[in-house]
């Protein structure tokens, strides 16, 4: 008798849960060198404002009696880490962790040019199984990453485990547009502009087709908030950005 295999979504496709990560990894290995450029083109630079707002919400301290340690999970090319370190005037220590060595390679190369690049370190790891000790970080950030993780509940559980009591969880992710009118414009842009633009810039439209479809499959803010609470977090909030194109979820380990 064959056991029923657990399935999940990879964009529009239904795939075996254990196959999703390999497919996601292929997407980001393929686009790593053009990833930053594509982010700017696709969002008209607005992703920078959302990321700024996320780090403003974190408000990392600029001084203290002990290090302020942040884990930026699925940190890719280091956009969030650079902002956190700058906002703390070089005080915060940020571990940029990602499952994809190519994204980390681009990030580590970029960090050489940052003002406080020595405050970042880069660690290859799966968000579902972190190689970090319990209660070792003051904050856990994840931007546009959680959507790609096959077992989101596991990643949230690991976020909770590695945070200290009083630690902050912040997750920036695409969401479902809820402004009448904007939703249709956004759908058309997603279907007709993003994949062809991806092909033009990276030579392949498939990763960007995946991006569009993965956004559509991601849980609503209410459902995702419930998942964060189920992982043990308290005071879960969410803030919509740009008509809910993106949403910032925040919570505390109390």
State yes or no: residue 145 binds ligand SAM (CB under 6 A): yes
Is the Cβ of residue 113 or residue 165 nearer to ligand SAM in the bound state? 113
Is the Cβ of residue 144 or residue 233 nearer to ligand SAM in the bound state? 144
Q: How far is the CB of 254 from ligand SAM (least distance, A)?
A: 25
* SS3 per residue for 197-215: HHHHHHCCCHHHHHHHHHH
Burial class (CB in 10 A: 0-12, 13-18, 19+), 157: middle
Q: How far is the CB of 145 from ligand SAM (least distance, A)?
A: 4
State yes or no: residue 122 binds ligand SAM (CB under 6 A): no
Distance (Å, whole) CA 28 – CA 34: 10
Instruction: Single out the segment in contact with ligand SAM by CB under 6 A; choices: 11-19, 58-66, 120-128, 175-183.
Output: 120-128
State yes or no: residue 204 binds ligand SAM (CB under 6 A): no
Contact 78, 145 (CB under 8 A): no
Chain positions 48 to 107 lying near ligand SAM, rule: CB under 6 A, are: 74-76, 79-80, 98-100, 103
Count CA atoms within 13 Å of residue 236 on its CB side. 19
Is the Cβ of residue 76 or residue 195 nearer to ligand SAM in the bound state? 76
User: Which residue from 42, 149, 163, 194 is in contact with ligand SAM, where contact means CB under 6 A?
Assistant: 149
State yes or no: residue 24 binds ligand SAM (CB under 6 A): yes
Rg, C-alpha atoms of the chain = 18
Among residues 111, 106, 63, 46, the alpha carbon closest in space to that of 246 is found at 46
State yes or no: residue 38 binds ligand SAM (CB under 6 A): no
Among residues 28, 94, 102, the alpha carbon closest in space to that of 67 is found at 94
**Strand, helix or coil for residue 109:** helix
Is the Cβ of residue 32 or residue 236 nearer to ligand SAM in the bound state? 32
Is the Cβ of residue 110 or residue 199 nearer to ligand SAM in the bound state? 110
- For residue 250, list its beta bridge partners: 170, 237
Is the Cβ of residue 145 or residue 250 nearer to ligand SAM in the bound state? 145
Among residues 2, 8, 9, the alpha carbon closest in space to that of 216 is found at 9
Q: Total residues at the site for ligand SAM (CB under 6 A)?
A: 20
Contact 147, 223 (CB under 8 A): no
Q: Which residue number is nearest to ligand SAM in terms of Cβ?
A: 76
Q: Which residues bind ligand SAM (CB under 6 A)?
A: 21, 24, 28, 74-76, 79-80, 98-100, 103, 126-128, 143-145, 148-149
């Amino acid at each position: 008798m064959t056991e029923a295999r657990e399935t999940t979504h990879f964009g529009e496709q239904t795939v075996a849960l254990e196959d999703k990560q390999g497919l996601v990894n292929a997407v980001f290995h393929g686009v790593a060198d053009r990833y930053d450029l594509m982010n700017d083109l696709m969002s008209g630079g607005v992703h920078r404002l959302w990321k700024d707002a996320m780090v403003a919400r974190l408000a990392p301290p600029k001084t203290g009696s002990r290090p302020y340690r942040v884990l930026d999970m699925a940190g890719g090319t280091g956009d969030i880490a650079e902002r956190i370190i700058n906002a703390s005037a070089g005080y915060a220590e940020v571990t940029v962790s990602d499952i994809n060595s190519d994204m980390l390679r681009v990030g580590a190369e970029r960090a050489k040019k940052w003002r406080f690049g020595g405050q970042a370190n880069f660690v290859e790891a799966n968000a579902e199984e972190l190689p970090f000790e319990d209660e070792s970080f003051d904050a856990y950030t994840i931007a546009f990453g959680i959507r790609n993780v096959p077992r989101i509940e596991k990643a949230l559980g690991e976020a909770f485990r590695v945070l200290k009591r009083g630690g902050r969880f912040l997750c920036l992710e695409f969401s479902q547009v809820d402004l009448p009118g904007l939703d249709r414009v956004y759908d058309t842009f997603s279907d007709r502009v993003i994949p062809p633009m991806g092909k033009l810039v990276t030579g392949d439209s498939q990763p960007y087709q995946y991006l569009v479809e993965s956004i559509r499959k991601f849980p609503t803010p209410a459902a995702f908030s419930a998942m964060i609470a189920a992982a043990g977090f308290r005071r879960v909030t969410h803030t919509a950005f740009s008509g809910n194109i993106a949403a910032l979820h925040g919570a505390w380990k109390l």
